[in-house]
Amino acid sequence: MPFRALGLDANILKAITEAGYTEPTPIQAAAIPLILGGQDLIGIAQTGTGKTAAFTLPILCKLAGLIGAGQKRGIRVLVLAPTRELVVQIEENVRAYGRHLPLRMATVFGGVGERPQIQALQSGVDIVVATPGRLLDLMGRRFGNFSGLQFLVLDEADRMLDMGFLPDIRRIVQAMPVKRQTMLFSASLSREIEQVTREFQHTPKVVQIGRRANPAETVTQLVYEVPKHLKTDLLVHLLQGPQLNMVLVFVRMKHSADRLAVSLERKGIKTATIHSNRSQNQRLSALKDFKSGRVRVLVATDIAARGIDVDGISHVVNFDFPMHSEDYVHRIGRTGRAHAVGDAISFITSADYGALRMLERFIGRGIVRKRAEGFDYKMAAAPGTHESEHRNRPPQKGSSQPQSSEKSRHGAGQVGHRFKARWQR
């Protein structure tokens, strides 16, 4: 089915064609007619299936009709999203699809100065895309007139609930006109999401695409078993392959992201980082460099798991295995987006076996274990040191060369013995 069969405005169809799209994704084909028909909507689909365009295109189409009818200008659309990165990504999509429409928009999020955002709200805009915290703060100081709002979108609603935004969202929604069209998009339909829909929506239609919480079928998933102190060496080894040309690496902690980036840079691998200690300008600069190819590897914490929408990511690497299965799904959704293909690689240590088994039950499939060809699993780097730096360090006075015992190579206790048994099969 081509986009023109969905009843979209001619100016929007022109922008879609200029963006290089010809056919809607399943979530777009199902959601767009319902939104155009005025229905409240619950859209359930995995990450990377085109959910942003599924609500952006029909809303822009309806806005074009309102402007053509000569209605008074004002804030007609509010889109709430969990992270600054996602707000920026939605803004880019709206501007691309609405490039031939006389629309004005503003973004509202924390981490940057509020004065330009206040000025934008006061100057009069049609669309506001915002994170709940900063928007609620500005609304509390009476910035932004939402009395004429007609369209409310809760994007990545499950993530916003996970991040504790529900009280803020409730206060924001209570300040909106009761008569409006409300759309909610989520990767899963949990009991919490169902409760939110009962609060905020009126007889919504449900569109669910694909298996519940199932990672994209176009993503190849692999697991590499490796002790903790060899993970950086293994990542460097894998990055020697030319097929890993645009790689998003996930770690658990902010300091781990910075430390890993330094190690990769020392190996001549251009790397950038995104985490909560980075300023908004630093995050945007890192994303820009990653998109343009100036850096090959982007190291991120889970704050970026739902905020990065970059075409062409060849691999997602779970350097630190996620503690929650839902985080795994959102992480690997950064590759294999829409109809593209991609690979998801996970490093696991002996401490991750339980989480891996839970994940496989969650997604309803086993994940292939793989051994890295040509990688020396018997390296003598001691746990707690940084890989090659340890190997190149001269012996301390009064000591011999690094010991070759199982304890020095793999750590104390049973961990080393278990890994040895697996490697030497």
User: Could you give all domains of the chain from N- to C-terminal order, each with its CATH number?
Assistant: 3-209 (3.40.50.300), 219-423 (3.40.50.300)
What is residue 421's predicted lDDT score, i.e. its pLDDT?
A: 39
Give the helix/strand (H/E) hosting 65. helix 51-68
Q: What are phi and psi of 48, to 5 degrees?
A: 90, 15
Q: What mean pLDDT comes out for the span 102-107?
A: 93
What is residue 216's predicted lDDT score, i.e. its pLDDT?
A: 57
For residue 404, what are its two tokens?
A: 């070759």
Does the pLDDT of residue 187 top 50, yes or no? yes
Say if CB 234 and CB 388 are below 8 A apart. no
Say if CB 117 and CB 46 are below 8 A apart. no
> Which alpha helices (H) appear in 110-186, and where do they start and end?
115-123, 132-140, 157-162, 166-174
Strands 181-186 and 77-80: unpaired
- Place 398 in a pLDDT band, splitting at 50, 70 and 90: very low
What is residue 70's predicted lDDT score, i.e. its pLDDT?
A: 59
More confident residue, 24 or 398: 24
| Residue for token pair 């669309």 | 127
Give the helix/strand (H/E) hosting 152. strand 151-154
The 8-class DSSP code of residue 13 comes to: H
Q: What mean pLDDT comes out for the span 65-78?
A: 78
The 8-class DSSP code of residue 401 comes to: S
What is residue 230's predicted lDDT score, i.e. its pLDDT?
A: 95
Task: Give the least confident one: 152-166, 312-326, 333-347.
Answer: 333-347
What is residue 394's predicted lDDT score, i.e. its pLDDT?
A: 41
Task: Give the least confident one: 52-66, 109-123, 390-404.
Answer: 390-404
Averaged pLDDT of the chain? 83
Report the length, in residues, of the chain. 425
What is residue 215's predicted lDDT score, i.e. its pLDDT?
A: 60
